């Protein structure tokens, strides 16, 4: 099936541990951010978003943190499970642009 590139940054974690995936975004004017998950052979899937007027947002087992001072975004996954194995992308946009700019992605692998 469709797959992402072979030379992505990789994060390996033990099943049950917490995972932290980082993203440095490029545009200081960006005010909306999204994390996507892409499993092998599939299209990217929306996980969680955050607006620039927030520092933190929580979902089910996931938390996104935004540090606008250093243009840094992170995705925390609690109690990582085998089904979390995927490539994770951050995306940014400026309000009104209706277009996203994607980071290169990080491959998360889960060790049993």
- Given the rule CB under 8 A, which of 12-20, 42-50, 53-61, 62-70 is the region that contacts other proteins? 42-50
Binding mask 62-101 for other proteins (x = CB under 8 A): ---------------------------x---x-x--xxx-
Contact with other proteins (CB under 8 A) among 12, 18, 27, 45:
45
> Is the distance from CB of 85 to CB of 109 less than 8 angstroms?
yes
Contact with other proteins (CB under 8 A) among 43, 53, 70, 112:
43
The span from the CA of 13 to the CA of 102, in Å, is 24
Residue 104 sits in the site that holds other proteins (CB under 8 A): yes
Residue 105 sits in the site that holds other proteins (CB under 8 A): yes
End-to-end CA distance of the chain: 24
The span from the CA of 39 to the CA of 110, in Å, is 13
List CB contacts of 76: < 8 A, sequence separation 6 or more.
18, 19, 20, 21, 62, 63, 64, 65
**Positions that interact with other proteins (CB under 8 A):** 1-7, 32, 34, 42-46, 49, 89, 93, 95, 98-100, 102-105
């Amino acid at each position: 099936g469709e797959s992402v590139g072979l030379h992505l940054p990789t994060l390996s974690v033990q099943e049950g541990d917490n995972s932290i995936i980082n993203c440095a975004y490029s545009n200081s004017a960006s005010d909306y951010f999204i994390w996507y998950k892409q499993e092998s052979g599939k299209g990217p899937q929306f996980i969680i978003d955050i607006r620039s007027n927030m520092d933190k947002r929580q979902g089910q087992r996931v938390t996104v943190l935004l540090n606008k001072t250093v243009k840094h975004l992170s995705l925390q996954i609690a109690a990582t499970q085998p089904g979390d194995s995927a490539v994770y992308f951050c995306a940014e946009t400026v309000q009104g642009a209706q277009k996203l700019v994607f980071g290169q992605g990080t491959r998360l692998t889960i060790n049993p």
